Structure 1
Amino acid sequence: MRDIKILLADDHAIVMEGIKEVLSADEEISVVGTVANGEEVIRFIRRNPNSVDVVVLDINMPVMDGISCSRQLKKEFPELKIIILTMYAQKSFVEEIVKLGIDGCLLKNNTGKELIDAVLRVMSGKQYYDRIGTFNSDEEEVTQYKLSERELEIIKLLSEGMTSGEIAEKLFLSGHTVKTHRKNILRKLNVSNSSQAVQFCLSNQLI
């Protein structure tokens, strides 16, 4: 029987515990560690280079996101298998991770069986991108999230490091109006903070 060693990375503890429970139920799989961001992933692998077969990581994490982490891991540990979990069904996103040589991609709402299937397949030397045919095109993504020109303008300024107060002054808006726009952006994109909103828009070339 194989013992596939997996490192999990997700900044939402409840989500990570659920994933850990699903994977640990399979006799061939062992979860050897859980971390909360990309930097912790890299530190773990560097300290334990032979103790991990597959890294399963969320795309949106603080400190270092899943894409940046994967890029670094593929440089340092090319034999390491990487599976990305995302809540966004976007073709442009998939194109980016395929270029990086990431081994698999699943939506976070997939079943536990699909995640186990993905782990087993990447360990056999294959890729797992079974659902990408249903992912949205770039044009559909923009329509789907219905960001206004003002909201895109605010995200662009956030990406440049500006605060709400600085944005309000630059755009001749009240601080309250800017904060309202920011709340609407997070709601439309279904993300929890402005960093994730910026990352989403950069990844999809919206700004």
Structure 2
Amino acid sequence: MRNIKILLADDHAIVMEGLKEVLGADEEITVVGTVMNGEEVLRFVRGNHVDIVVLDINMPVMDGITCARHLKKEHPDVKIIVLTMYAQRSFVDEILKIGIDGCLLKNNTGKELIDAVLRVMGGGQYYDRIAAFNSDEEEVAQYKLSERELEVIRLMAEGLTSSEIAGKLFLSDHTIKTHRKNILKKLNVHNSSQAVQYCLKNDLL
């Protein structure tokens, strides 16, 4: 019987415990570690054997997208399944370009997560739900902020400047300033501090 070694990455302890419980129900799977941000993921994988990283997108210090980029460059054999709260087709396009092996919505992490792990370990991909993901127009109406804008505002909350955010996300200063302007407009606030407070109050970070 094979033993699939999985690293879990999520900055919410309750979510982490739920994922461990789900994965622990399958005797082929072993959760070899739990971490709370992307930098901890990279450190763990550098020192331990991991088959799959189950990766939350919105994490402090280093977000899931940035972490996934580094993982695919440094450890191309490690499989990545990302978890997101936001069903956005534009987001799926981005993670497909990176080469991420699977994507699940956070509210579908029961048996579906086991199915995704087994398929990815078999050399396949798991994007079963993307047909139901929202278009960009629906995304703005329902969630207001895109996944990329949430990445930007999380880094804003950490006190980073536009130039520092651009460096972390491998984007230009101009692109980050445009994101910041769009964030303020979408949330109908006047400055970055108000935008961060809005997102914290509405549990978006």
Q: What is the aligned partner in structure 2 of residue 80 from structure 1?
A: 78
Letter in 2 for 1:59: I
Equivalent in 112, 115, 118 of residue 117 of structure 1: 115
- Mapped partners of 2:20, 2:31: distance in 1: 7
Letter in 2 for 1:40: E
Q: Which runs of 5+ in 2 are unaligned?
A: 146-152, 163-183
CA distance in 2, matches of 1:181, 1:7: 32
Correspondence for 1:22: 22
Q: Which amino acid aligns with 1:46?
A: R
Structure 1 unaligned spans of 5+: 148-154, 163-170, 193-207
Give 3-state SS (helix, strand or coil) of 2:53's partner: strand
Q: Which residue of 1 aligns with 2:88?
A: 90
- Mapped partners of 2:130, 2:103: distance in 1: 8
Supply the RMSD in Å over aligned alpha carbons: 2.4
Indicate the SS of the match to 2:40: helix
Q: What is residue 4 of structure 1 aligned with on the other side?
A: 4
124, 130, 135: which one aligns with 1:132: 130
Assess if the C-alpha contact under 8 Å between 2:19 and 2:109 holds in 1.
no
Letter in 1 for 2:23: L
Which one of 156, 178, 191 corresponds to residue 204 of structure 2? Answer: 191
What is the deviation of 1:143?
A: 2.0
C-alpha displacement of 1:183: 3.9
| Structure whose CA Rg is larger | 1
Q: Counterpart of 1:161 in structure 2: which amino acid?
A: T
TM-score (norm 1): 0.74
What TM-score comes out, normalization by structure 2 length?
0.75
CA distance in 2, matches of 1:106, 1:146: 20
Deviation at 1:61?
0.3
Q: 1:146 to 1:28 in 2, by over 3 A?
A: closer
1:180 Cα deviation after fit: 5.8
The letter for the 2-side match of 1:58 is D
In the alignment, which residue of structure 1 is the partner of 2:104? Answer: 106
Calculate percent identity across the aligned residue pairs.
73
State the aligned residue count. Answer: 168
